[in-house]
Homo-oligomer: A and B are copies of this chain.
């Protein structure tokens, strides 16, 4: 029997690991609870009507179709038993175990509501395709309802969009809602002026884009403000409900009436991390990440790699690039071992820098001490995202959608399902009025 490698998670880390094992004499089993890989950095384009879900989420088994040693299993991983070397899987009412010789855990992180999970109902996250379609439905649905609203206060609430968390996703999301309301939608509506929509970007920290340098962050903030986004740093969100958020600043508390809220404030590593750490006798970080050896293995368990967002190593951030490089490293280490090279090699992370697209034609970025912003940054952003998007057809299709959206300012993927429009808690639990005159 060939050496069995099980990979938990088909995100950037898991997929890179699988691909690195392409020519290795192993059987690779990739387990994910979704049938698709997800190009998460572009999820906000799905939410704002630029891209279709297919553009950013190729099926894992299609990505790996030519890799004969890899198979994909759709299942939720409920646990990992380091002693018995098994992964517990579940799908529907089934439950079963998969045995491994080497395990790569790339289970990633999910959105964190900092212990207030009830916020999720009112402020969806931006972590999955379901999230993105939900957010799309709420954004475009809010404009639809606003067009019919007569009560000025309630109209204002329907036209207020609150983005919580000013990391790259929050910044890009706020920028896109501003683009939408200022440029894409005005001609579509007759009663409301969508350009009056308020977009608030809230963050508890002192500035936006905390992982970027001061320079790019300041430029991004200026650009966002020029587009009409209100940035409120030093602002803690203390409550979220169907019709608004409550915030706390140095000046005291305030309530903001807003029907649409989007949460991109923090991440919490997969609960598999805590289980792995407990079994290995190490402590997770506060965000639930597992400390690993320099070669990305679990301490005391050279047969287990932990990569990507779930891994804590040298303070590397939760970036797609870190996940890809650590996943690839795990795959390469397994290959080397099977070739008899037992000396573990540390992960050498090559910082390719960060980029955030604030609006069309405007991105900020930095790599080591080089900074770039504006149109040049945006061209970088475009090239990088086209390069890393999985698969030729997704690349060309995304490029096509971008041409429509950026040159034409149009949104080719605005469709929201009936379920998204009508069954929404935010819309249903707080109808603005019981009866109203017709528009």
Contact = CB atoms under 8 A, between A and B. Distances in A.
A439 B73 contact: yes
Contact of A436 (B96, B413, B417): B96
Interface in A49-68: 49, 52-55, 57-59, 61-62, 65-66
A93 B148 contact: no
Interface stretch (A184-192, A273-281, A321-329): A184-192
A419 interface: yes
Interface stretch (A128-136, A173-181, A245-253, A288-296): A128-136
Contacts of A188: 59, 61-62, 65
A129 B92 contact: no
A182 to B, nearest CB: 15
Given A92-B145, A94-B433, A74 B412 contact: no
B415 A393 contact: no
B397 A401 contact: yes
Given A94-B431, A144-B74, A130 B34 contact: no
A290 B436 CA distance: 31
Interface residues of A, number: 76
A40 to B, nearest CB: 14
A298 B190 CA distance: 30
A206 interface: no
Given A393-B410, A427-B92, A54 B52 contact: yes
A140 interface: yes
Interface string A100-131: 00000000000000000000000000001110
A437 interface: yes
A314 interface: no
Contact of A191 (B71, B144, B191, B433): B71
A419 B94 contact: no
Contact of A438 (B58, B98, B144, B415): B98
**Chain copies in the assembly?**
2
Interface in A231-285: none
Contacts of A93: 431, 433-434
Interface in A71-93: 71, 73-75, 89, 91-93
Interface in A169-216: 187-191
A66 B188 CA distance: 8
Nearest to A137: B35
A427 B91 CA distance: 10
A33 B144 CA distance: 11
A172 B73 CA distance: 30
A5 to B, nearest CB: 15
Contacts of A413: 52-54
A22 interface: no
A214 B61 CA distance: 42
B419 A35 contact: no
A388 interface: no
A410 B35 contact: no
A393 B414 contact: no
A95 interface: yes
A354 interface: no
A138 interface: no
A153 interface: no
Given A92-B145, A96-B438, A421 B129 contact: no
5 contacts: A49-B54, A53-B415, A54-B414, A61-B188, A96-B436
Given A91-B145, A92-B428, A96-B437, 12 more contacts: A34-B421, A36-B415, A52-B55, A54-B412, A92-B427, A93-B434, A94-B148, A94-B434, A96-B438, A393-B412, A394-B412, A396-B400
- List the 9 closest A-B pairs by CB distance, nearest first: A93-B431, A52-B52, A54-B413, A71-B190, A61-B188, A53-B415, A65-B187, A92-B431, A96-B438
